[in-house]
C-alpha cells in the first residue's frame, strides 16, 4: 500500500506508474508474441482472425473494466481518508460484481460471436479461425476479470508493483505455451487461444494465493464476502461513465474494423499488426493517466488540493517524453517492425504506411489521456466519456470512412490523429477551466489562513 498524499508529486507518480507500465508492456508482449507466432507459423488469414477478435473482446470486457476503474477511485478515496472498514467493503463488492459480470460476458460472447463477426463483414477466409479462437479465449474471461479486479484493488491502495510481478510471470508462461502448442503440438490458432487462457488462470490463482498469505487485510474468501449496495452505487456513479466510454470506444473500434474489412485480408492483417505495435505507445499514456487518477483520488480524500496541479504538470512531462521516444522508434523502423510479424510483402507494405502516419501524433494522444486522468481521479468521469464519444463517433469513424473512399486504406489511418486533436482540444479547454477554479479555491484558503493568523 502506498500513500500518495505526501512527498514529491512527480516522483510518486513516476514510481507508481512504472510497475503498471512494465506490467502492461508484458501484457502487450504476449499479445505481440501471439501475433508473431500466428503470422509467421500459420499465415495471414490466422493473423487477421486474431486481430479481428480484439475489437469484439474489447467490446465485451470494456464496460466491466470501466466499473472496476470506478471502484479503484472509490477505494483510493477511502484509503486516502483512512476509512479502512469502507475500503474492505468496497473490495468485497468489487469481487462479487466481477464474478457475476464474467459469467454474463462469457455467455453473451459464446452465443453471438459468429453473428458479430458476420455483422462487421469479416471475410469468409478469416471467419472460421476467428470464431474458433474466440470460443476458446472466452473460457478465460472469469480469470481475466478476477485478475483485473485484484489489480484494480491494489492500485487503489497504492500498490502497483505486486500485480506487475504476477503479470510478468503470466506473460512468460503465455510465450512458452504459445511456442509449445503451435510449433510442437501443431494446434494452430486453437493453441494460441489456449495458451492465453492457461496463463490468465495461473496469474489469477497465483495473486490470490499471495494476498491470502501475505495481506490478511485483502484476503480472498468468497463465502465471507458481503455486497455493499451503497458503495456499489458510488462506484457505479464514478464507473458508469467510464464503462459507457469504454463500450463506445469498443463499438467504435468495431465500426472501424468494418471499414478495414472492406479492403481485404491483407489490410486486416496489416492493421492488426500495426495496432499491436501502436499499443506500446498507448500503454504509457494510459498508465500515467491511471497513476495520476489514483494520485488525485487520494489527495482529494486527504483534502490536499494544492498537490493536484503539480501532479498534472509532472505527468504531462513524463508521458510526453515517453511518447516522443516511441514515436521516433516507430518512424525509423516501420518496415523492420512489420517484418517481425509476417513475411507477407503486401501486409508489410500496408502496415508500414500506418506506422509512418500515426506515430507522428503519439504525443497528442499522451497529452489528451493525461489531462483526462485528472477528471477521472476527481470522480468526474462523465465529461471524458462525452469527449471520447465525440472524438471517436463524430470524428474518427466518419473521417476514416470518408478519407478511405478518397485515398484507400491510408485514409483510415489519417482519421486517427484527426480524432485525437479534437479530443485533446476538448479536454484542454475543460481542464483549463477546472484549474482556474482550483487556483481560485487555493487563493480563498490562503486568505482564510492569513485571516486566522
Of the candidates 204, 92, 192, the residue with the CA atom closest to the CA atom of residue 148? 204
- Nearest CA to 158 out of 80, 91, 103, 233 is that of 80
pLDDT digit string (tens) for 202-231?
999 999 998 888 876 677 788 788 899 999
Average pLDDT over every residue of 233-253: 82
Specify the 3-state DSSP secondary structure of 211: helix
The neighbour count for residue 58, using CB atoms within 10 Å, is 17
What's the pLDDT score for residue 436?
55
Q: Find the helix or strand (DSSP H, E) in which 7 lies.
A: none
**Predicted local distance difference test score (pLDDT) of residue 434:** 55
- Judged against a pLDDT cut of 70, whether residue 118 lies above it is answered with yes
Count of beta carbons in the 10 Å neighbourhood of residue 406: 9
| H helical segments located in 120-188 | 127-137, 141-156, 161-179
Q: 385 falls in which pLDDT band (50, 70, 90)?
A: confident
pLDDT surpassing 70 at residue 33: yes
Can you tell me the distance from the alpha carbon of 235 to that of 68, in angstroms, rounded to the nearest whole number? 8
Of the CA atoms within 13 Å of residue 290, those in its CB half-sphere come to 32
Q: Residue 347 above 60 pLDDT?
A: yes
d(C-alpha 327, C-alpha 323), whole Å: 6
**pLDDT higher than threshold 90 for residue 180:** yes
Higher-pLDDT residue of 308 and 50 is 50
Sign of the alpha-carbon dihedral angle for 102, 171, 364, 359 = negative
Cell 492483417 belongs to residue:
269
Averaged pLDDT score across all residues of the chain:
86
How many helices (H) and strands (E) the chain has is answered by 16, 0
Structure-block grid coordinates of residue 123: 471475410
d(CA 91, CA 23): 22
Taking the C-alpha atoms of residue 409 and residue 350, their distance in angstroms, rounded to an integer, is 8
CB 121 within 8 A of CB 259: no
Separation between Cα atoms, residue 157 and residue 230, nearest integer Å: 20
What DSSP string runs through 217-234? GG---GGG----HHHHHH
pTM: 0.77
Write down the pLDDT at residue 2: 65
Residue 430 has pLDDT above 60, yes or no: yes
Provide the residue count of the chain: 453
Express as a percent the part of the chain with pLDDT over 90.
Answer: 42
Instruction: Report d(CA 244, CA 241) in Å as an integer.
Output: 5
Asked if residues 83 and 218 have their Cβ atoms less than 8 Å apart, the reply is no
CA distance 44 to 38: 8
449 burial level (CB within 10 Å; 0-12, 13-18, 19+): exposed
Amino acid at each position: 500500500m502506498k500513500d500518495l498524499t505526501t512527498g514529491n508529486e512527480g516522483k510518486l507518480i513516476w514510481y507508481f506508474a512504472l510497475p503498471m507500465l512494465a506490467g502492461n508492456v508484458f501484457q502487450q508482449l504476449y499479445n505481440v508474441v501471439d501475433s508473431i507466432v500466428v503470422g509467421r507459423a500459420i499465415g495471414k488469414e490466422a493473423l487477421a482472425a486474431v486481430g479481428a477478435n480484439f475489437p469484439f473482446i474489447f467490446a465485451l470486457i470494456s464496460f466491466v473494466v470501466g466499473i472496476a476503474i470506478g471502484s479503484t477511485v472509490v477505494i483510493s478515496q477511502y484509503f486516502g481518508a483512512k476509512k479502512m472498514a469502507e475500503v474492505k467493503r468496497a473490495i468485497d463488492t468489487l469481487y462479487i460484481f466481477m464474478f457475476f459480470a464474467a459469467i454474463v460476458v462469457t455467455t453473451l460472447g459464446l452465443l453471438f460471436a459468429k453473428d458479430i463477426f458476420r455483422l462487421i463483414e469479416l471475410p469468409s477466409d478469416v471467419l472460421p479461425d476467428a470464431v474458433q479462437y474466440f470460443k476458446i479465449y472466452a473460457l478465460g474471461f472469469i480469470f481475466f476479470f478476477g485478475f483485473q479486479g485484484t489489480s484494480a484493488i491494489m492500485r487503489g491502495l497504492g500498490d502497483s508493483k505486486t500485480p506487475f510481478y504476477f503479470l510478468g510471470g503470466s506473460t512468460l508462461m503465455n510465450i512458452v505455451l504459445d511456442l509449445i502448442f503451435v510449433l510442437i503440438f501443431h494446434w494452430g490458432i486453437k493453441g494460441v487461444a489456449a495458451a492465453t487462457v492457461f496463463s490468465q488462470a495461473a496469474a489469477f490463482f497465483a495473486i490470490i494465493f499471495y494476498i491470502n498469505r501475505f495481506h490478511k487485510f485483502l484476503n480472498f474468501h468468497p463465502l465471507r464476502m458481503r455486497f455493499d449496495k451503497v458503495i456499489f452505487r458510488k462506484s457505479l456513479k464514478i464507473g458508469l461513465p467510464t464503462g459507457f466510454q469504454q463500450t463506445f470506444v469498443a463499438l467504435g473500434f468495431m465500426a472501424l474494423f468494418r471499414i478495414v474489412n472492406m479492403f481485404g485480408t491483407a489490410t486486416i492483417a496489416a492493421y492488426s499488426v500495426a495496432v499491436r505495435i501502436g499499443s506500446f505507445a498507448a500503454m504509457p499514456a494510459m498508465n500515467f493517466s491511471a497513476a495520476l487518477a489514483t494520485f488525485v483520488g487520494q489527495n482529494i480524500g486527504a483534502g490536499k488540493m494544492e498537490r493536484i496541479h503539480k501532479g498534472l504538470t509532472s505527468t504531462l512531462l513524463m508521458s510526453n517524453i515517453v511518447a516522443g521516444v516511441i514515436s521516433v522508434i516507430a518512424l525509423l523502423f516501420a518496415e523492420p517492425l512489420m517484418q517481425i510479424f509476417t513475411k507477407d510483402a503486401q501486409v508489410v507494405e500496408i502496415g508500414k504506411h500506418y506506422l509512418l502516419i500515426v506515430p507522428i501524433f503519439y504525443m497528442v494522444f499522451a497529452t489528451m489521456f493525461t489531462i483526462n486522468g485528472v477528471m477521472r481521479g476527481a470522480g468526474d468521469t462523465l465529461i471524458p466519456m462525452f469527449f471520447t464519444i465525440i472524438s471517436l463517433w463524430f470524428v474518427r469513424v466518419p473521417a476514416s470512412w470518408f478519407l478511405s473512399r478518397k485515398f484507400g486504406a491510408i485514409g483510415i489511418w489519417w482519421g486517427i490523429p484527426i480524432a485525437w486533436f479534437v479530443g485533446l482540444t476538448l479536454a484542454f479547454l475543460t481542464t483549463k477551466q477546472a484549474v482556474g477554479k482550483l487556483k481560485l479555491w487555493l487563493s480563498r484558503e490562503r486568505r482564510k489562513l492569513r485571516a486566522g493568523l
